[in-house]
A and B are shown apart, each in its own frame.
Chain A
Amino acid sequence: MEIMQIVGLGIIATILIVILKESRPEFAVLLSIVTGVIIFLLIVPQLVYVVDTISSLSSRANVDISYFNTIVKIIGMAYLVEFASQISRDAGQDSIAMKIELGGKVLIMVLAIPILLALMDLIIKILP
């Protein structure tokens, strides 16, 4: 069961990080990065399954596939931004975390604009 592995891994890594924190803090940050990456790589197969089923559902409901791709892209970017900003926040660099989040928001906004335009066209068409 993945969940046992993830929970056990998280606890063990936390203990190791606490040990390393006071003598060598840089190794603690590196260890937290490695733990985050390993836990994510454990759940990638399940995530692929979820995304594929949702895309097959949306294609069956003949929703425009480009909208679904944009949504999945935004979710991926949000996860990456969250991953990086949490790491730099753990290391005590809150300002860098804010900059990463700012960049992520702007890029997600750029991705969302085509959908907004399509929505506006739709609304204008509906209005008498």
Chain B
Amino acid sequence: MSDSIFVQYIWLVPAVSLLAAVITAIAGNRWLKQQAWLPCMLAAAFGAVWSALALVVVAQADEPVAFVPVLEWLTVSDLRVAYELLVDPLSALMLFMVTFVGSLIVAFASWYMAHEEGYARFFSEVALFLFSMTSLVLVANLLMLYVFWELVGLCSYLLIGFYYTRPCAAAAAKKAFVVNRIGDFGFALGIFLIWVTCGTLSYRQVLAVDQGLQQLTAAGPAVLTTVCLLLFCGAVGKSAQFPLHVWLPDAMEGPTPVSALIHAATMVTAGVYMVARFTPLFAQAAGVGTVVLVIGCVTAFIAAFTALTQTDFKRILAYSTISQLGYMFMALGIGTVAGAVAAIFHVFTHAFFKALLFLGSGSVMHATGGELNVWRMGGLRKYLPVTHWTFLCAALALAGFPLLSGFWSKDAILATVWQASGAATQLAGAVGLITAALTAFYIGRAYFLVFWGEPRDRAIEEQVEHYVRDEAHGPPEPLIMKAPLIVLAVGSVLVGAVIALAFGGLVPFLAGAYGVEPLAHATAEHDAHGHAWGMMLLSAVVALAGLGLAYVFYGQPSPWPDRLAEQLAPLYRISVNKFWLDELGLILVVRPMLAIAAACRVLDNVLVDGLVHAVAAVPAWFARLALRPMHNGLVPFYALAMLLGLAVILTLVLFQIQGG
């Protein structure tokens, strides 16, 4: 397989993105102007085509794992870090997802961001983002993984803070960066521990059963567990898991295509990918699986519960992302190849419908003039037909409507969790089902509130009507914006069914990434439960019930929501206030940190600076006392001083000669 040019030159995919970023950064503002999106678009489209071909090559190969050496990055005694790429089913699938969804988002953004200040800057940063993410899924070395992990964090910081003149956007960008830093700290420690134990950071050795894995297990049970927990810590930050998920809702301050990019194609999927990549380690580490499972479970439930009552359109979607990521970690927590495959399956389908949901919300925001409160919208389906239909597809896919993509992947996760042994997994399965109902309900609520009924706000209605009528800014739904929506909608509807029915799920394909032995194991496991029909039926019923309830509550004017909010006031308050997690974080983490920082500042100002100033004052004092009077401006005096100095030196030299 490694002799195929699509595998050999796979590095072209990130390289072209990097090139596009550089070109746009240099030429964007001066020469490209409104064409600044083209380099980024071309790079992303090229990446999508190339990685699709690579995916086909990988799928047809007998031995679907290839290491592609590209260049040496650094060599320090034993430490060799190469920019070496690993092409296997897992990375090829992720690469295709990132570039394909990414290119659609870029196309949409070329319309959405038009006439924005910093058009070129936006696309330069997006191209850099794509470069970082494609490299992240391809590299075959933990240190390189960390480098691109951080680059992804940097790009998200830049893009969330795109409107950096707005204080809230700047604060959100900073929050995302700082919260991610907490996770990355653990991640870095994990990498150090692997280096200390195994003496190598290459996947080739670390993941090999007879090398790194053996060394880690031999070093004692605590070592492997610690490594896995630390790696998971990084994933918790990057993939917005409880309790580090607080940055993701705030990240909505960025432009909407950025939200789509972060939530669907890049950034948050990095954590899932990393844990899936290291599943061989996680499978051996005792107790870590349960931690992952519980965190995922808690995250899924808390986020879904919070999304029930949010009024900010994009925030509902943000909490839904967190919730879906929770699902993925639930599956990863099982610690088997089947679990990892189910998680990656969900990542894949989720990318389609979540990108679509965000792009749809972007279209709505343009029509309503940036309004985000779902209670002020309504009846938008007659103004924005394409947005409405595609959003409906995505919403149904997210809700797990039978036969749509979200249904298959969510079912795969729930079935995997349900059939794993242990009381914790049974409980997690139950929570997963409840969360599925909540998911269907909140996304139905958002959909009905925005697109159904009558406009609730006169000003917004006028704005929308004006937007649809007024052709000055172009048609309300031009082709460049419709096309990505439709492609994503087709993906949201079909992708799951195609993978599940035509290819018999991702298990036979992805198991190749984990070597031959797990393949047999996973296939056996897969055959054992096949498609869990019972679970399918159950989740379908749950999803339909959630959607039906949402229709009853929000499909037409109804007294039920208010009445229910009154009767279940405590629950309602918990949900509206997001479990007070932000406030809790403020009291437990931010305030103490600020206090420590203030103390440090005083210490720095008084003690450290005082010492430095004291030391610095000595020469000044000496100079004032002794040297300043010597500079009296009298040329004869200077000459005399020179002569005397010369005399002294000569005398010394003479004595030296005589003495020697």
Tell me if chain B binds chain A.
Answer: no
Binding site for B on A (CB under 8 A): none
Binding site for A on B (CB under 8 A): none
